[in-house]
A = this chain, B = another copy of it.
């Protein structure tokens, strides 16, 4: 299993923004914002698992998440420190924004 996790500085800002510009992915990011590791499947999203897998892939390849494989599960967490270092304020701004109505 190749876990493609790019260096954040190699990811264009537009890719980071595009990754955040989706309701499903934003919900994932909000959930991960507690700082802990979450198993992909435990985040309730109301979509097919293929779609779920797709969104986690987008987040990972945009440098937003770090994934640890353990058994059949994947533990995902937000790369908050790195993000705050490279884009100070971005994550906070997005997270404190009013949730989707």
Contact = CB atoms under 8 A, between A and B. Distances in A.
Interface residues of A, number: 25
A6 interface: no
A92 B94 contact: no
A77 B26 CA distance: 28
A22 interface: yes
Given A18-B18, A18-B21, A12 B100 contact: yes
A14 interface: yes
Contact of A14 (B26, B89, B93): B26
Contacts of A20: 14, 17
A87 B92 CA distance: 9
Contacts of A94: 13, 17, 87, 90
